[in-house]
Structure 1
Amino acid sequence: MANIRGGTIPIMDLAMATGSAGMISLVNSFVIITEYNTKVQGFLVHSVERIVNMNWEEIHPPPKGTGRDHYLTAVTRVDNQLVEIIDVEKILAEVAPVSEEISIGVIDAEVHHKAVSLRVLTVDDSSVARKQVSRCLETVGVEVVALNDGRQALDYLLKMVAEGKKPEEEFLMMISDIEMPEMDGYTLTAAIRNDPRLQKMHITLHTSLSGVFNQAMVKKVGADDFLAKFRPDDLAARVVARIKAAE
Protein backbone atom coordinates (compact mmCIF):
# COMPACT_ATOMS: atom_id res chain seq x y z
CA MET A 1 0.00 0.00 0.00
CA ALA A 2 1.09 3.60 -0.56
CA ASN A 3 -0.28 7.00 0.34
CA ILE A 4 -0.26 9.17 -2.76
CA ARG A 5 -1.84 12.62 -2.97
CA GLY A 6 -3.84 12.00 0.17
CA GLY A 7 -5.21 8.64 -0.92
CA THR A 8 -4.19 5.08 -0.09
CA ILE A 9 -3.79 2.79 -3.08
CA PRO A 10 -2.67 -0.85 -3.40
CA ILE A 11 0.72 -1.55 -5.00
CA MET A 12 1.27 -4.77 -6.97
CA ASP A 13 4.63 -6.23 -7.95
CA LEU A 14 4.10 -6.61 -11.70
CA ALA A 15 6.80 -9.23 -12.13
CA MET A 16 5.38 -11.39 -9.34
CA ALA A 17 1.83 -10.91 -10.63
CA THR A 18 2.84 -12.31 -14.02
CA GLY A 19 4.62 -15.35 -12.60
CA SER A 20 8.20 -14.08 -12.47
CA ALA A 21 10.47 -13.47 -9.49
CA GLY A 22 9.39 -10.49 -7.40
CA MET A 23 11.41 -7.35 -6.80
CA ILE A 24 14.26 -7.93 -4.33
CA SER A 25 15.25 -4.29 -3.87
CA LEU A 26 13.01 -1.25 -4.17
CA VAL A 27 15.96 1.09 -4.69
CA ASN A 28 15.54 3.03 -7.95
CA SER A 29 12.32 1.16 -8.75
CA PHE A 30 9.18 2.82 -10.12
CA VAL A 31 5.44 2.63 -9.47
CA ILE A 32 3.09 3.10 -12.43
CA ILE A 33 -0.23 4.50 -11.19
CA THR A 34 -3.23 3.30 -13.21
CA GLU A 35 -7.01 3.46 -13.14
CA TYR A 36 -8.87 0.34 -14.23
CA ASN A 37 -12.47 -0.61 -13.59
CA THR A 38 -13.02 2.64 -11.64
CA LYS A 39 -10.27 1.67 -9.17
CA VAL A 40 -6.80 3.17 -8.76
CA GLN A 41 -3.80 0.90 -8.21
CA GLY A 42 -0.04 0.99 -8.69
CA PHE A 43 2.26 -1.49 -10.43
CA LEU A 44 5.79 -1.81 -9.06
CA VAL A 45 8.35 -2.14 -11.89
CA HIS A 46 12.14 -2.22 -12.10
CA SER A 47 12.33 0.63 -14.61
CA VAL A 48 10.42 2.61 -17.23
CA GLU A 49 12.30 2.76 -20.52
CA ARG A 50 9.95 5.11 -22.36
CA ILE A 51 6.30 6.02 -22.88
CA VAL A 52 4.83 5.75 -26.38
CA ASN A 53 1.45 6.53 -27.92
CA MET A 54 0.20 4.02 -30.49
CA ASN A 55 -2.78 3.92 -32.82
CA TRP A 56 -5.07 0.93 -32.33
CA GLU A 57 -4.40 -0.13 -35.92
CA GLU A 58 -0.82 -0.78 -34.81
CA ILE A 59 -1.90 -3.09 -31.99
CA HIS A 60 -2.30 -6.76 -32.91
CA PRO A 61 -3.50 -9.94 -31.18
CA PRO A 62 -0.77 -12.07 -29.54
CA PRO A 63 0.76 -14.82 -31.70
CA LYS A 64 -1.16 -18.07 -31.86
CA GLY A 65 0.24 -20.83 -29.71
CA THR A 66 0.98 -18.64 -26.69
CA GLY A 67 -1.31 -20.83 -24.58
CA ARG A 68 -3.97 -20.03 -22.01
CA ASP A 69 -1.74 -19.12 -19.09
CA HIS A 70 0.05 -16.16 -20.65
CA TYR A 71 -0.56 -12.56 -19.61
CA LEU A 72 -0.54 -11.03 -23.09
CA THR A 73 -3.54 -9.31 -24.56
CA ALA A 74 -1.79 -7.85 -27.62
CA VAL A 75 1.54 -7.02 -29.25
CA THR A 76 2.91 -4.09 -31.23
CA ARG A 77 6.18 -2.93 -32.75
CA VAL A 78 8.22 0.04 -31.56
CA ASP A 79 11.41 0.88 -33.48
CA ASN A 80 11.07 -2.51 -35.20
CA GLN A 81 11.09 -4.33 -31.86
CA LEU A 82 8.20 -6.54 -30.76
CA VAL A 83 6.56 -5.17 -27.60
CA GLU A 84 4.23 -7.32 -25.52
CA ILE A 85 1.12 -5.69 -24.04
CA ILE A 86 0.00 -7.11 -20.71
CA ASP A 87 -3.59 -8.11 -19.95
CA VAL A 88 -4.09 -5.94 -16.87
CA GLU A 89 -7.64 -7.23 -16.42
CA LYS A 90 -6.30 -10.76 -16.05
CA ILE A 91 -3.81 -9.62 -13.41
CA LEU A 92 -6.45 -7.72 -11.44
CA ALA A 93 -8.85 -10.66 -11.64
CA GLU A 94 -6.19 -12.89 -10.06
CA VAL A 95 -4.75 -10.47 -7.50
CA ALA A 96 -7.90 -8.59 -6.51
CA PRO A 97 -10.91 -10.47 -7.92
CA VAL A 98 -14.28 -8.76 -8.02
CA SER A 99 -17.59 -10.42 -7.29
CA GLU A 100 -19.39 -11.74 -10.36
CA GLU A 101 -22.64 -12.38 -8.48
CA ILE A 102 -25.78 -10.59 -9.63
CA SER A 103 -27.86 -9.24 -6.76
CA ILE A 104 -31.29 -10.64 -6.02
CA GLY A 105 -34.00 -8.61 -7.71
CA VAL A 106 -32.03 -7.54 -10.78
CA ILE A 107 -33.48 -10.42 -12.82
CA ASP A 108 -37.00 -11.74 -12.42
CA ALA A 109 -38.48 -15.01 -13.69
CA GLU A 110 -40.41 -13.35 -16.51
CA VAL A 111 -37.33 -11.59 -17.89
CA HIS A 112 -35.26 -14.77 -17.61
CA HIS A 113 -37.93 -16.68 -19.54
CA LYS A 114 -37.89 -14.12 -22.37
CA ALA A 115 -34.08 -13.97 -22.39
CA VAL A 116 -33.68 -17.63 -23.32
CA SER A 117 -34.69 -16.93 -26.93
CA LEU A 118 -32.36 -13.93 -27.32
CA ARG A 119 -28.69 -13.51 -28.24
CA VAL A 120 -26.13 -10.86 -27.30
CA LEU A 121 -22.92 -10.18 -29.22
CA THR A 122 -19.92 -9.39 -27.00
CA VAL A 123 -16.53 -8.11 -28.15
CA ASP A 124 -13.43 -8.02 -25.93
CA ASP A 125 -9.76 -8.86 -26.43
CA SER A 126 -9.26 -9.93 -22.80
CA SER A 127 -10.09 -13.58 -22.21
CA VAL A 128 -10.84 -12.79 -18.57
CA ALA A 129 -13.27 -10.01 -19.50
CA ARG A 130 -14.97 -12.22 -22.10
CA LYS A 131 -15.56 -14.90 -19.49
CA GLN A 132 -16.81 -12.40 -16.90
CA VAL A 133 -19.28 -10.85 -19.33
CA SER A 134 -20.41 -14.23 -20.67
CA ARG A 135 -21.09 -15.62 -17.20
CA CYS A 136 -23.06 -12.51 -16.27
CA LEU A 137 -25.20 -12.59 -19.42
CA GLU A 138 -25.77 -16.32 -19.22
CA THR A 139 -27.11 -15.77 -15.71
CA VAL A 140 -29.61 -13.33 -17.22
CA GLY A 141 -30.54 -16.10 -19.62
CA VAL A 142 -29.40 -14.88 -23.03
CA GLU A 143 -27.16 -16.78 -25.42
CA VAL A 144 -23.75 -15.16 -25.86
CA VAL A 145 -21.65 -14.92 -29.02
CA ALA A 146 -18.18 -13.72 -27.94
CA LEU A 147 -15.61 -12.26 -30.36
CA ASN A 148 -12.05 -11.07 -29.72
CA ASP A 149 -11.72 -7.63 -31.32
CA GLY A 150 -13.46 -4.97 -33.36
CA ARG A 151 -12.17 -6.18 -36.72
CA GLN A 152 -13.42 -9.69 -36.04
CA ALA A 153 -16.81 -8.31 -34.96
CA LEU A 154 -17.21 -6.08 -38.02
CA ASP A 155 -16.27 -8.92 -40.38
CA TYR A 156 -18.76 -11.17 -38.57
CA LEU A 157 -21.57 -8.63 -38.99
CA LEU A 158 -20.73 -7.95 -42.64
CA LYS A 159 -20.81 -11.67 -43.37
CA MET A 160 -24.19 -11.83 -41.68
CA VAL A 161 -25.70 -9.12 -43.90
CA ALA A 162 -24.11 -10.71 -46.97
CA GLU A 163 -26.14 -13.82 -46.10
CA GLY A 164 -29.31 -11.74 -46.06
CA LYS A 165 -29.63 -11.52 -42.27
CA LYS A 166 -30.35 -8.41 -40.22
CA PRO A 167 -27.99 -8.09 -37.22
CA GLU A 168 -30.51 -6.07 -35.20
CA GLU A 169 -32.92 -9.01 -35.51
CA GLU A 170 -30.28 -11.63 -34.78
CA PHE A 171 -28.95 -9.88 -31.65
CA LEU A 172 -30.65 -8.06 -28.82
CA MET A 173 -27.58 -5.83 -28.52
CA MET A 174 -23.81 -5.66 -28.86
CA ILE A 175 -21.60 -5.08 -25.82
CA SER A 176 -18.11 -4.06 -26.88
CA ASP A 177 -14.87 -3.23 -25.14
CA ILE A 178 -13.19 -0.03 -26.31
CA GLU A 179 -9.46 -0.75 -26.01
CA MET A 180 -8.79 -3.62 -28.46
CA PRO A 181 -6.14 -4.58 -31.04
CA GLU A 182 -6.81 -4.33 -34.78
CA MET A 183 -9.94 -2.18 -34.32
CA ASP A 184 -11.05 -0.40 -31.15
CA GLY A 185 -14.63 -0.08 -29.96
CA TYR A 186 -14.99 3.53 -31.09
CA THR A 187 -13.96 2.67 -34.65
CA LEU A 188 -16.20 -0.40 -34.64
CA THR A 189 -19.19 1.65 -33.47
CA ALA A 190 -18.57 4.37 -36.06
CA ALA A 191 -18.30 1.75 -38.83
CA ILE A 192 -21.60 0.18 -37.77
CA ARG A 193 -23.37 3.54 -37.60
CA ASN A 194 -22.06 4.51 -41.05
CA ASP A 195 -23.37 1.32 -42.69
CA PRO A 196 -27.14 1.44 -43.38
CA ARG A 197 -27.28 -2.37 -43.12
CA LEU A 198 -25.84 -2.36 -39.60
CA GLN A 199 -26.76 0.98 -38.08
CA LYS A 200 -29.85 -0.24 -36.19
CA MET A 201 -27.70 -2.36 -33.85
CA HIS A 202 -28.01 -1.36 -30.20
CA ILE A 203 -24.45 -0.77 -28.94
CA THR A 204 -23.20 -0.54 -25.37
CA LEU A 205 -19.51 0.27 -24.92
CA HIS A 206 -18.00 -1.51 -21.94
CA THR A 207 -14.58 -0.31 -20.80
CA SER A 208 -12.08 -0.57 -17.98
CA LEU A 209 -11.25 3.12 -18.53
CA SER A 210 -13.74 5.73 -17.37
CA GLY A 211 -13.88 9.50 -17.45
CA VAL A 212 -15.32 12.44 -19.33
CA PHE A 213 -13.22 11.75 -22.45
CA ASN A 214 -14.68 8.31 -22.95
CA GLN A 215 -18.24 9.50 -22.36
CA ALA A 216 -17.78 12.28 -24.92
CA MET A 217 -16.43 9.81 -27.46
CA VAL A 218 -19.38 7.49 -26.84
CA LYS A 219 -21.74 10.24 -27.98
CA LYS A 220 -19.52 11.23 -30.89
CA VAL A 221 -19.40 7.76 -32.46
CA GLY A 222 -23.09 7.06 -31.83
CA ALA A 223 -23.08 4.36 -29.16
CA ASP A 224 -26.34 3.91 -27.27
CA ASP A 225 -24.80 3.43 -23.85
CA PHE A 226 -21.55 3.42 -21.88
CA LEU A 227 -20.67 1.22 -18.93
CA ALA A 228 -17.51 0.95 -16.82
CA LYS A 229 -16.18 -2.53 -16.02
CA PHE A 230 -16.86 -4.71 -14.19
CA ARG A 231 -20.19 -4.22 -12.45
CA PRO A 232 -22.37 -7.33 -12.81
CA ASP A 233 -25.54 -5.66 -11.53
CA ASP A 234 -25.18 -2.70 -13.90
CA LEU A 235 -24.37 -4.94 -16.86
CA ALA A 236 -27.27 -7.27 -16.13
CA ALA A 237 -29.59 -4.28 -15.66
CA ARG A 238 -28.65 -2.94 -19.11
CA VAL A 239 -29.51 -6.27 -20.71
CA VAL A 240 -32.75 -6.55 -18.74
CA ALA A 241 -33.74 -3.05 -19.91
CA ARG A 242 -33.12 -4.06 -23.52
CA ILE A 243 -35.20 -7.22 -23.10
CA LYS A 244 -38.10 -5.16 -21.76
CA ALA A 245 -37.70 -2.53 -24.49
CA ALA A 246 -37.78 -5.23 -27.18
CA GLU A 247 -41.18 -6.54 -26.07
Structure 2
Amino acid sequence: MSKILQTVDQRTQLVGENRLELLMFRLAGRQLFALNVFKIQEVVKLPKLTALPHSCPHVVGVTHLRNQTISVIDLSAAIGGPPLRNREDCNLIVTEYNRSIQAFLVGAVDRIVNLNWELVLPPPKGAGRSHFLTAITRMDDDIVEILDVERVLADIVPYETSVSEDVLDRDLVDFALSRELKILMADDSLTAYRQASATLSNIGIETEYCPDGLTALNRLKEQARNGVDIPREYLMLVTDAEMPEMDGYRLTHEVRSDAALKDLHVILHTSLSGSFNQAMVEKVGCNDFLSKFQPDELAQKVQNFLREQIQSGRLV
Protein backbone atom coordinates (compact mmCIF):
# COMPACT_ATOMS: atom_id res chain seq x y z
CA MET A 1 0.00 0.00 0.00
CA SER A 2 2.84 2.43 0.79
CA LYS A 3 4.00 2.10 -2.84
CA ILE A 4 1.09 4.32 -3.86
CA LEU A 5 3.18 7.30 -2.68
CA GLN A 6 6.63 6.20 -3.87
CA THR A 7 6.90 8.91 -6.55
CA VAL A 8 5.82 11.79 -4.30
CA ASP A 9 9.17 13.58 -4.75
CA GLN A 10 8.61 13.73 -8.51
CA ARG A 11 5.21 15.30 -7.91
CA THR A 12 6.66 18.42 -6.31
CA GLN A 13 7.06 19.80 -9.83
CA LEU A 14 3.27 20.07 -10.05
CA VAL A 15 3.05 22.65 -7.29
CA GLY A 16 3.53 26.14 -8.61
CA GLU A 17 1.91 25.05 -11.89
CA ASN A 18 -1.58 25.39 -10.35
CA ARG A 19 -1.86 21.60 -10.20
CA LEU A 20 -2.25 19.10 -7.40
CA GLU A 21 -2.57 15.41 -6.79
CA LEU A 22 -5.24 13.93 -4.58
CA LEU A 23 -5.38 10.60 -2.81
CA MET A 24 -8.98 9.41 -3.00
CA PHE A 25 -10.52 7.07 -0.46
CA ARG A 26 -13.80 6.03 1.12
CA LEU A 27 -14.98 6.02 4.71
CA ALA A 28 -18.12 4.18 5.85
CA GLY A 29 -20.05 4.45 2.58
CA ARG A 30 -19.56 4.92 -1.14
CA GLN A 31 -18.83 8.67 -1.02
CA LEU A 32 -15.34 9.53 -2.27
CA PHE A 33 -13.15 11.78 -0.14
CA ALA A 34 -9.67 13.13 -0.85
CA LEU A 35 -6.54 14.62 0.72
CA ASN A 36 -3.65 16.34 -1.00
CA VAL A 37 -0.76 13.92 -1.58
CA PHE A 38 1.80 16.47 -0.36
CA LYS A 39 0.44 16.24 3.17
CA ILE A 40 0.61 12.45 3.23
CA GLN A 41 3.67 10.55 4.44
CA GLU A 42 2.46 7.03 3.77
CA VAL A 43 -0.56 4.75 3.45
CA VAL A 44 -0.52 1.41 5.29
CA LYS A 45 -2.91 -1.38 6.18
CA LEU A 46 -4.28 -0.92 9.68
CA PRO A 47 -1.69 -2.16 12.20
CA LYS A 48 -2.38 -3.15 15.79
CA LEU A 49 -3.66 -0.21 17.84
CA THR A 50 -3.12 0.50 21.52
CA ALA A 51 -5.98 2.12 23.39
CA LEU A 52 -5.34 5.58 24.81
CA PRO A 53 -7.34 6.17 28.01
CA HIS A 54 -9.19 9.48 28.41
CA SER A 55 -8.50 10.54 24.83
CA CYS A 56 -10.92 12.29 22.48
CA PRO A 57 -13.70 9.86 21.40
CA HIS A 58 -12.54 10.13 17.78
CA VAL A 59 -9.01 8.98 18.68
CA VAL A 60 -9.28 5.20 18.44
CA GLY A 61 -5.76 4.47 19.67
CA VAL A 62 -2.09 4.92 18.95
CA THR A 63 0.33 2.97 16.80
CA HIS A 64 4.10 2.87 16.43
CA LEU A 65 5.42 3.65 12.93
CA ARG A 66 8.92 4.60 11.83
CA ASN A 67 10.17 4.98 15.40
CA GLN A 68 7.38 7.30 16.52
CA THR A 69 4.09 6.91 18.33
CA ILE A 70 1.18 8.31 16.33
CA SER A 71 -2.41 9.02 17.32
CA VAL A 72 -5.01 7.37 15.09
CA ILE A 73 -8.20 9.33 14.35
CA ASP A 74 -11.37 7.72 13.01
CA LEU A 75 -11.93 10.17 10.16
CA SER A 76 -15.51 9.12 9.53
CA ALA A 77 -16.53 9.75 13.14
CA ALA A 78 -14.52 12.98 13.26
CA ILE A 79 -16.58 14.54 10.45
CA GLY A 80 -19.90 13.42 11.91
CA GLY A 81 -20.33 10.07 10.18
CA PRO A 82 -20.61 6.56 11.63
CA PRO A 83 -17.47 5.09 13.23
CA LEU A 84 -15.55 2.61 11.09
CA ARG A 85 -16.41 -0.80 12.51
CA ASN A 86 -15.01 -3.31 10.01
CA ARG A 87 -11.36 -2.69 10.86
CA GLU A 88 -10.07 -5.63 8.77
CA ASP A 89 -10.68 -3.63 5.59
CA CYS A 90 -9.37 -0.32 6.92
CA ASN A 91 -6.21 1.60 6.11
CA LEU A 92 -4.20 4.34 7.77
CA ILE A 93 -3.30 7.59 6.00
CA VAL A 94 -0.33 9.06 7.86
CA THR A 95 -0.16 12.83 7.46
CA GLU A 96 1.78 15.85 8.63
CA TYR A 97 -0.22 18.98 9.41
CA ASN A 98 0.93 22.01 11.32
CA ARG A 99 4.20 20.37 12.38
CA SER A 100 2.53 17.31 13.88
CA ILE A 101 2.13 13.73 12.66
CA GLN A 102 -1.22 11.99 12.86
CA ALA A 103 -2.87 9.02 11.18
CA PHE A 104 -6.43 8.86 9.88
CA LEU A 105 -8.37 5.62 9.92
CA VAL A 106 -10.17 5.28 6.57
CA GLY A 107 -11.86 2.56 4.55
CA ALA A 108 -10.78 1.55 1.06
CA VAL A 109 -8.09 3.64 -0.65
CA ASP A 110 -9.08 4.34 -4.25
CA ARG A 111 -6.29 5.95 -6.30
CA ILE A 112 -4.23 9.09 -6.89
CA VAL A 113 -5.47 11.62 -9.44
CA ASN A 114 -3.69 14.58 -11.02
CA LEU A 115 -5.83 17.71 -11.39
CA ASN A 116 -5.65 21.36 -12.28
CA TRP A 117 -6.72 23.57 -9.37
CA GLU A 118 -9.20 25.25 -11.71
CA LEU A 119 -11.22 22.01 -11.62
CA VAL A 120 -11.35 22.13 -7.83
CA LEU A 121 -14.22 24.29 -6.59
CA PRO A 122 -15.36 25.62 -3.20
CA PRO A 123 -18.05 23.45 -1.59
CA PRO A 124 -21.62 24.61 -2.12
CA LYS A 125 -22.98 26.74 0.70
CA GLY A 126 -25.34 24.85 2.94
CA ALA A 127 -23.97 21.41 2.05
CA GLY A 128 -24.39 18.89 4.83
CA ARG A 129 -20.66 18.43 5.49
CA SER A 130 -19.51 21.77 4.10
CA HIS A 131 -17.92 22.83 7.37
CA PHE A 132 -15.53 19.87 7.06
CA LEU A 133 -14.70 20.50 3.39
CA THR A 134 -12.30 22.87 1.72
CA ALA A 135 -13.36 21.98 -1.81
CA ILE A 136 -15.06 19.54 -4.14
CA THR A 137 -14.24 18.18 -7.57
CA ARG A 138 -15.74 15.69 -10.00
CA MET A 139 -14.05 12.47 -11.03
CA ASP A 140 -15.83 10.45 -13.74
CA ASP A 141 -19.44 10.59 -12.52
CA ASP A 142 -18.61 11.00 -8.83
CA ILE A 143 -18.35 14.09 -6.63
CA VAL A 144 -15.14 14.00 -4.59
CA GLU A 145 -15.14 15.86 -1.26
CA ILE A 146 -11.76 17.32 -0.25
CA LEU A 147 -11.56 17.45 3.52
CA ASP A 148 -10.49 20.37 5.71
CA VAL A 149 -8.10 18.50 7.99
CA GLU A 150 -7.31 21.67 9.95
CA ARG A 151 -11.00 21.87 10.85
CA VAL A 152 -10.99 18.21 11.92
CA LEU A 153 -7.90 18.64 14.07
CA ALA A 154 -9.20 21.86 15.66
CA ASP A 155 -12.08 19.85 17.14
CA ILE A 156 -9.67 17.28 18.61
CA VAL A 157 -6.77 19.51 19.70
CA PRO A 158 -7.97 23.02 20.66
CA TYR A 159 -5.80 25.67 19.03
CA GLU A 160 -4.09 28.61 20.69
CA THR A 161 -4.24 32.08 19.15
CA SER A 162 -2.72 34.27 21.86
CA VAL A 163 0.67 35.94 21.44
CA SER A 164 3.35 35.66 24.12
CA GLU A 165 4.12 38.81 26.05
CA ASP A 166 7.81 38.62 25.14
CA VAL A 167 6.83 38.65 21.44
CA LEU A 168 4.19 41.38 21.66
CA ASP A 169 5.49 44.89 20.88
CA ARG A 170 2.99 47.25 22.52
CA ASP A 171 4.27 50.27 20.61
CA LEU A 172 3.67 48.49 17.32
CA VAL A 173 0.22 47.41 18.47
CA ASP A 174 -0.70 51.02 19.24
CA PHE A 175 0.68 52.12 15.86
CA ALA A 176 -1.27 49.44 13.99
CA LEU A 177 -4.48 50.35 15.78
CA SER A 178 -4.03 54.06 15.12
CA ARG A 179 -3.49 53.45 11.39
CA GLU A 180 -6.18 50.75 11.10
CA LEU A 181 -3.69 48.51 9.34
CA LYS A 182 -5.05 45.42 7.65
CA ILE A 183 -3.87 42.25 5.97
CA LEU A 184 -5.54 40.41 3.11
CA MET A 185 -5.69 36.67 3.82
CA ALA A 186 -6.40 33.91 1.29
CA ASP A 187 -7.13 30.47 2.72
CA ASP A 188 -9.65 27.80 1.76
CA SER A 189 -9.88 26.66 5.38
CA LEU A 190 -12.13 29.00 7.34
CA THR A 191 -10.75 27.42 10.51
CA ALA A 192 -7.18 28.29 9.53
CA TYR A 193 -8.25 31.83 8.67
CA ARG A 194 -9.98 32.29 12.02
CA GLN A 195 -6.89 31.06 13.84
CA ALA A 196 -4.64 33.53 12.03
CA SER A 197 -7.13 36.39 12.24
CA ALA A 198 -7.53 35.96 16.00
CA THR A 199 -3.76 35.99 16.42
CA LEU A 200 -3.34 39.13 14.31
CA SER A 201 -6.02 40.94 16.29
CA ASN A 202 -3.69 40.64 19.29
CA ILE A 203 -1.19 42.87 17.50
CA GLY A 204 -3.77 45.41 16.34
CA ILE A 205 -4.11 44.16 12.75
CA GLU A 206 -7.46 43.76 10.98
CA THR A 207 -7.93 41.09 8.31
CA GLU A 208 -9.98 40.62 5.16
CA TYR A 209 -10.83 37.11 4.02
CA CYS A 210 -10.76 35.43 0.62
CA PRO A 211 -11.56 31.69 0.36
CA ASP A 212 -9.20 31.06 -2.58
CA GLY A 213 -6.44 32.60 -4.64
CA LEU A 214 -8.63 33.62 -7.56
CA THR A 215 -10.99 35.58 -5.30
CA ALA A 216 -8.01 37.34 -3.72
CA LEU A 217 -6.48 38.21 -7.10
CA ASN A 218 -9.77 39.53 -8.47
CA ARG A 219 -10.30 41.67 -5.38
CA LEU A 220 -6.83 43.17 -5.64
CA LYS A 221 -7.16 43.85 -9.37
CA GLU A 222 -10.58 45.46 -8.97
CA GLN A 223 -9.32 47.74 -6.20
CA ALA A 224 -6.29 48.69 -8.31
CA ARG A 225 -8.56 49.55 -11.26
CA ASN A 226 -10.50 51.82 -8.90
CA GLY A 227 -7.36 53.73 -8.04
CA VAL A 228 -6.48 52.05 -4.75
CA ASP A 229 -2.76 51.99 -3.91
CA ILE A 230 -2.56 48.30 -3.00
CA PRO A 231 0.72 48.32 -0.98
CA ARG A 232 -0.75 51.13 1.12
CA GLU A 233 -4.20 49.57 1.39
CA TYR A 234 -2.79 46.31 2.78
CA LEU A 235 0.24 45.82 4.96
CA MET A 236 0.70 42.46 3.23
CA LEU A 237 -0.97 39.45 1.64
CA VAL A 238 -0.87 36.21 3.64
CA THR A 239 -1.80 33.25 1.46
CA ASP A 240 -2.24 29.54 1.89
CA ALA A 241 -0.53 27.29 -0.66
CA GLU A 242 -3.40 24.93 -1.54
CA MET A 243 -6.69 26.53 -2.58
CA PRO A 244 -9.47 25.84 -5.10
CA GLU A 245 -9.36 27.53 -8.50
CA MET A 246 -5.94 29.16 -7.90
CA ASP A 247 -3.25 28.06 -5.45
CA GLY A 248 -1.04 30.41 -3.45
CA TYR A 249 1.97 29.93 -5.69
CA ARG A 250 0.06 30.97 -8.81
CA LEU A 251 -1.54 33.84 -6.87
CA THR A 252 1.91 35.12 -5.94
CA HIS A 253 3.10 34.78 -9.53
CA GLU A 254 0.10 36.77 -10.78
CA VAL A 255 0.66 39.46 -8.14
CA ARG A 256 4.30 39.82 -9.14
CA SER A 257 3.30 40.05 -12.82
CA ASP A 258 0.91 42.98 -12.28
CA ALA A 259 2.45 46.46 -12.15
CA ALA A 260 -0.15 47.69 -9.66
CA LEU A 261 0.29 44.74 -7.31
CA LYS A 262 3.93 43.70 -7.66
CA ASP A 263 5.19 45.61 -4.60
CA LEU A 264 2.74 43.93 -2.23
CA HIS A 265 4.52 41.98 0.51
CA VAL A 266 3.51 38.30 0.32
CA ILE A 267 3.88 35.63 3.01
CA LEU A 268 3.13 31.99 2.19
CA HIS A 269 1.36 30.51 5.23
CA THR A 270 0.90 26.79 4.82
CA SER A 271 0.92 23.42 6.54
CA LEU A 272 3.06 21.89 3.79
CA SER A 273 6.67 21.00 4.59
CA GLY A 274 9.09 23.83 5.22
CA SER A 275 12.03 22.73 3.05
CA PHE A 276 9.85 22.29 -0.01
CA ASN A 277 8.10 25.61 0.47
CA GLN A 278 11.37 27.47 0.93
CA ALA A 279 12.29 26.47 -2.61
CA MET A 280 8.87 27.47 -3.90
CA VAL A 281 9.11 30.87 -2.17
CA GLU A 282 12.18 31.62 -4.25
CA LYS A 283 10.61 30.25 -7.43
CA VAL A 284 7.41 32.30 -7.40
CA GLY A 285 8.63 35.41 -5.58
CA CYS A 286 7.07 35.26 -2.11
CA ASN A 287 8.78 37.49 0.44
CA ASP A 288 8.61 34.95 3.23
CA PHE A 289 7.32 31.55 4.30
CA LEU A 290 5.65 30.48 7.54
CA SER A 291 4.48 27.03 8.64
CA LYS A 292 1.01 26.75 10.15
CA PHE A 293 0.05 27.25 12.86
CA GLN A 294 2.43 29.07 15.21
CA PRO A 295 0.85 32.23 16.69
CA ASP A 296 4.10 33.70 17.99
CA GLU A 297 5.90 33.16 14.68
CA LEU A 298 3.07 34.72 12.68
CA ALA A 299 2.97 37.73 15.02
CA GLN A 300 6.76 38.05 14.94
CA LYS A 301 6.99 38.07 11.15
CA VAL A 302 4.22 40.65 10.81
CA GLN A 303 5.71 42.87 13.51
CA ASN A 304 9.19 42.60 11.97
CA PHE A 305 7.88 43.75 8.60
CA LEU A 306 5.84 46.53 10.19
CA ARG A 307 8.93 47.69 12.07
CA GLU A 308 10.95 47.71 8.82
CA GLN A 309 8.26 49.77 7.10
CA ILE A 310 8.28 52.35 9.87
CA GLN A 311 12.06 52.58 10.00
CA SER A 312 12.31 53.00 6.23
CA GLY A 313 9.80 55.84 6.27
CA ARG A 314 7.27 54.01 4.09
CA LEU A 315 4.84 54.05 7.03
CA VAL A 316 4.91 57.32 8.95
Distance 1:68 1:119, change over 3 A: farther
How big is each residue's C-alpha offset from its partner over 1:84-107, in whole Å with a ceiling of 9 and x where there is no partner?
A: 111111001111223222111211
SS of the residue corresponding to residue 122 of structure 1 reads strand
- 1:128 alignment counterpart: 191
Alignment of 1:160-199 (within 5 A): 160-199=223-262
Letter in 2 for 1:148: P
SS of the residue corresponding to residue 258 of structure 2 reads coil
- 2:51 alignment counterpart: none
Distance 1:155 1:70, change over 3 A: same
For the residues of structure 2 that align with 1:230 and 1:68, how far apart are their CA atoms? 24
Letter in 1 for 2:220: L
TM-score of the two chains, using structure 1 as the length reference = 0.96
Decide which of 47, 55, 72 is 2:108's aligned counterpart. 47
How big is each residue's C-alpha offset from its partner over 1:145-196, in whole Å with a ceiling of 9 and x where there is no partner?
A: 1111100000000011101111101111111111000100000000000111
Decide which of 273, 276, 283 is 1:220's aligned counterpart. 283
Pairwise CA distance, 1:67 = 6.6
Letter in 1 for 2:189: S
SS of the residue corresponding to residue 27 of structure 1 reads helix
CA contact 1:76–1:82 (8 Å) conserved in 2:
yes
Q: Which has the larger radius of gyration?
A: 2
How big is each residue's C-alpha offset from its partner over 1:196-218, in whole Å with a ceiling of 9 and x where there is no partner?
A: 11100000000011142221111
How big is each residue's C-alpha offset from its partner over 1:49-80, in whole Å with a ceiling of 9 and x where there is no partner?
A: 22222221211100122278631110011113
RMSD after superposition: 1.3
1:23 aligns with 2:105: no
For the residues of structure 2 that align with 1:229 and 1:49, how far apart are their CA atoms? 28
- 2:295 alignment counterpart: 232
TM-score of the two chains, using structure 2 as the length reference = 0.76
Q: Structure 1 unaligned runs (5+)?
A: none
> Bigger shift: 112-121 or 51-60?
51-60
SS of the residue corresponding to residue 191 of structure 1 reads helix
For the residues of structure 2 that align with 1:25 and 1:103, how far apart are their CA atoms? 45
- 1:5 alignment counterpart: 66
Larger strand share, 1 or 2 = 2
CA contact 2:231–2:261 (8 Å) conserved in 1:
yes
For the residues of structure 1 that align with 2:151 and 2:301, how far apart are their CA atoms? 24
- Please list every run of at least 4 consecutive aligned residues from structure 1 whose deviation after the TM superposition is greater than 2 angstroms: 64-70
Q: Structure 2 unaligned runs (5+)?
A: 1-61, 311-316
Aligned-residue sequence identity (percent) comes to: 45
Pairwise CA distance, 1:27 = 1.0
- 2:6 alignment counterpart: none
For the residues of structure 2 that align with 1:208 and 1:143, how far apart are their CA atoms? 22
- 1:210 alignment counterpart: 273
1:79 aligns with 2:140: yes
Letter in 2 for 1:242: F
Letter in 2 for 1:58: L
- 1:113 alignment counterpart: 174
Pairwise CA distance, 1:245 = 1.0
For the residues of structure 2 that align with 1:67 and 1:239, how far apart are their CA atoms? 36
CA contact 2:124–2:130 (8 Å) conserved in 1:
no
How big is each residue's C-alpha offset from its partner over 1:93-140, in whole Å with a ceiling of 9 and x where there is no partner?
A: 111223222111211221111111211111111110111011011111
Distance 1:189 1:91, change over 3 A: same
CA contact 1:114–1:243 (8 Å) conserved in 2:
no
Pairwise CA distance, 1:40 = 1.1
For the residues of structure 1 that align with 2:147 and 2:219, how far apart are their CA atoms? 26
SS of the residue corresponding to residue 52 of structure 1 reads strand
1:62 aligns with 2:123: yes
The count of corresponding residues between Structure 1 and Structure 2 is 247
CA contact 1:56–1:180 (8 Å) conserved in 2:
yes
SS of the residue corresponding to residue 237 of structure 1 reads helix
